[in-house]
Structure 1
Amino acid sequence: MTQTLPAPWQRAATGANLLASDGALGVTIFEEMTTLAMQTGAINLGQGFPDEDGPEEIKAAARAAIAAGSNQYAPGKGIPQLRKAVSAHQSRFYGLDPDPDTEIIVTTGATEGIAASLLAFVGPGDEVLTFEPFYDSYGAIIGLSGATHVTAPLLAPGFLPDTAALEAAFTDRTKVVLLNNPHNPTGAVFPREVLQRVVDLARKHDAIIITDEVYEHLTFGVRHIPVATLPGATDRTVTISSAGKTFSFTGWKVGWLSGPEHLVAAIRTVKQFLTYSSGTPFQSAIATALALPDEFYEGISATLRKKRDILSEGLRAAGLDVFTPDGTYFVNVDTSPLGIRDSVDLARRLPGLVGVAAIPVPVFCHPEGAERTRSLLRFAFCKRDEVLEEAAARLATLRDRL
């Protein structure tokens, strides 16, 4: 008897935890929480996007590019100016030297880079390994590809992997390791020894490493280490980043990837039939952005760290157990000290209780991981100081309102 496989859209929905057991299609948790925030007038600390634009000189560069006529298709692999800027950035910060012509592709955000990379290398019968919790689009694209999504847990309070569980997650079918560092949703920045262990296991099992490093410049007191710089990683690692998080222009959707020529050529084959190209004047502007001085990069990290601390103070005042992040836009809390074990239920009540919206961490997990993270909530702190101060004041009343 022939088995009927789920349709591609069903595999994608299942991978992103959008398909109920009865087959009903739900909405993303981001859409649900945003709707609740709008209905209640709550401060939305769910979805991770800034409420302020990035530097004026970057906007001016985009306007200048539009005025100069950069409004038609860019080359499929990106305009030369941006590919050279990405190469210079990798050299300046990490000592890497990717060839702008053969080892770099500009993508429509990091999301397309991840999708094109996975679709280039995996299919039915293959396994893709990620840490858990995982960003929801990873599960969607893995599901769409037909590959099997395998996870290794990150454990609170530091959200580092259990070494034995990580080793056990690798098999002879592991085709790709998809590594997010700095990590969304936990805010962990993985130390060298953790990253090197991943590399060593990938080499042992002959797996490709795809790294999502969009928060590379948003770390607090610790240094981001690109996987591609580690011994044994260079010839099997595709590094992905984007302009949205670093420069606060998430709506421009300008990303890029770099890696060895044979891997990049395979990804380009897929990518050119997704969007082909996009955002020509924005590509030019981001080339300008990548050349900004060190003071800019140091400043965005210091500013974001202050925002983290403002929000964390209110979360602690609420009686929540706060896991202080080393990077990203996000801080996670444990609701257990308030006697609450179901963060999904609390997330749905929170906008009405105190006027703040957050995201429950279990939605970023498979069922076993959802149980392990059942009492965790994620808050985004990439907002104006006055917004965070108001949110902190509201959250401080949570214990009384419960």
Structure 2
Amino acid sequence: MYIIYNNVVYVMQKKKVFSAANRLSVDYLSHGTSVWVFAREQLEKYKCVNHGQGFPDWSSPEFVKKAAQDSVEEDHNQYCSPFGHPLLLEQLVVEYSKKFPKQKLTAKNIQTTIGACGALENCCQAFLNPGDEVITFEPYFDFYKFHVAHAQAFMKTVPVHLNAKKTGWEFDMKAFEQAISKKTKMFILNTVLSPFKKSARGKIFFLFFYFFCKIKPKKRGLSVGRLFYFFLYFFKKKGVCVCMVFTKQQLEEIVKVLKKHPQVIVVSDEVYEDLVYDNTVHHHIANLDDGKMFDRTITISSAAKNSVSQAGRLAGAL
């Protein structure tokens, strides 16, 4: 410790007064470097496009903007219930009753959170004990490992890979089943999952897109984000598979395995549930097994993705 007094630097002996909580002894570095840290370094170094994080570069819908403006003008700035604003919960019940028709939902089924990360953190803190295991598919959202580590639990992964025709993603069901043990307490499912892996076509796609973006597309009135989706669409037609939406059959196979392990809680991260295209159907795992999976599943949704309002940090767990 250094103290400056009258332009003189005094060196003071370091004294340990406080000690950190035991849970902070978790070695987060052993979980690897955050992919966002790596991506940021590449962005700064090469001035390239960040196609990793989910922040669209187009504006929020007008109704979202107007609602925010009205809230400010009408002085809606007081604390609300920690469980969520009653009007919001009421509307969420209406919306999710359509998605889960076999359930009689009430406001008690829904918890609003500060973003989907807040919901994930709450799930891990509420259900995981030190030493518990969590299963998820890899690649996965980078923050999963930190939410799990905060609860002093351990994460085990099952890789997904391109199928033989390179038109879709699949995983080894035996590997998934073998990953589950008596210590397994939670399974984190992410659908829509957006993994990227190296392939010849993928390299061509990214090189082409990168160099195209270097010629200042915004001068022509185009945003980088829209160009990205244009090229994504073009190369998709050429056979490049860029994301994984779990099919109903795949989810049913997962459920069949989970039925053998009733101690496992399912946390279904579905923040991209409405961003599916080309007649692809998003399925809720909570609806499977004739709706019985609902009782052991926490479904997470995000207004940041569904209504392009990332700054709002609004999500919900059902």
Answering whether residue 245 of structure 2 is matched by residue 189 of structure 1, we say yes
Shift of residue 99 of structure 1? 3.2
Answering whether residue 311 of structure 2 is matched by residue 243 of structure 1, we say no
Q: Render the CA deviation track for 1:190-221: whole Å, top value 9, x for unaligned.
A: 11121122222222111111100000001122
CA contact (8 A) 1:15 1:143 kept: no
| 3-state SS, counterpart of residue 120 of structure 2 | helix
Query: What is the RMSD of the two structures over their aligned residues, measured on CA atoms?
Result: 2.1
1:218 maps to a residue whose letter is L
What's 1:165 paired with? Answer: 175
2:286 maps to a residue whose letter is A
1:177 maps to a residue whose letter is F
> Counterparts of 1:125 and 1:76 in 2: how far apart (Å)?
30
CA contact (8 A) 2:188 2:269 kept: yes
Shift of residue 175 of structure 1? 0.8
> Counterparts of 2:81 and 2:93 in 1: how far apart (Å)?
17
Shift of residue 100 of structure 1? 3.4
Q: CA 1:40 to 1:176, structure 2 compared with 1: closer, same or farther past 3 Å?
A: closer
What's 1:314 paired with? Answer: none
CA contact (8 A) 1:50 1:248 kept: yes
Q: Render the CA deviation track for 1:40-95: whole Å, top value 9, x for unaligned.
A: 43333343311112211111011101221211222111101111121111122442
Larger radius of gyration: 2
Answering whether residue 32 of structure 2 is matched by residue 17 of structure 1, we say yes
> Counterparts of 2:26 and 2:183 in 1: how far apart (Å)?
19
Q: CA 1:17 to 1:72, structure 2 compared with 1: closer, same or farther past 3 Å?
A: farther
> Counterparts of 2:253 and 2:30 in 1: how far apart (Å)?
26
Unpaired runs of at least 5, structure 2 = 1-20, 197-242
Aligned identity (percent) is 30
> Counterparts of 2:95 and 2:31 in 1: how far apart (Å)?
33
| Larger RCO: 1 or 2 (CA < 8 Å, sep 6+) | 1
What's 2:80 paired with? Answer: 74
2:296 maps to a residue whose letter is R
CA contact (8 A) 2:300 2:315 kept: yes
What's 1:58 paired with? Answer: 64
TM-score with structure 2 setting the length:
0.71
TM-score with structure 1 setting the length:
0.57
Answering whether residue 182 of structure 2 is matched by residue 125 of structure 1, we say no
What's 1:210 paired with? Answer: 267
> Counterparts of 2:56 and 2:27 in 1: how far apart (Å)?
27
Q: Which has the higher helix share?
A: 1
> Counterparts of 2:94 and 2:169 in 1: how far apart (Å)?
32
Unpaired runs of at least 5, structure 1 = 1-5, 19-27, 259-402
CA contact (8 A) 1:210 1:237 kept: yes
1:11 maps to a residue whose letter is V
Q: Render the CA deviation track for 1:236-283: whole Å, top value 9, x for unaligned.
A: 11111111111111121100011xxxxxxxxxxxxxxxxxxxxxxxxx
CA contact (8 A) 2:83 2:112 kept: yes
| 3-state SS, counterpart of residue 256 of structure 1 | strand
Q: CA 1:47 to 1:12, structure 2 compared with 1: closer, same or farther past 3 Å?
A: farther
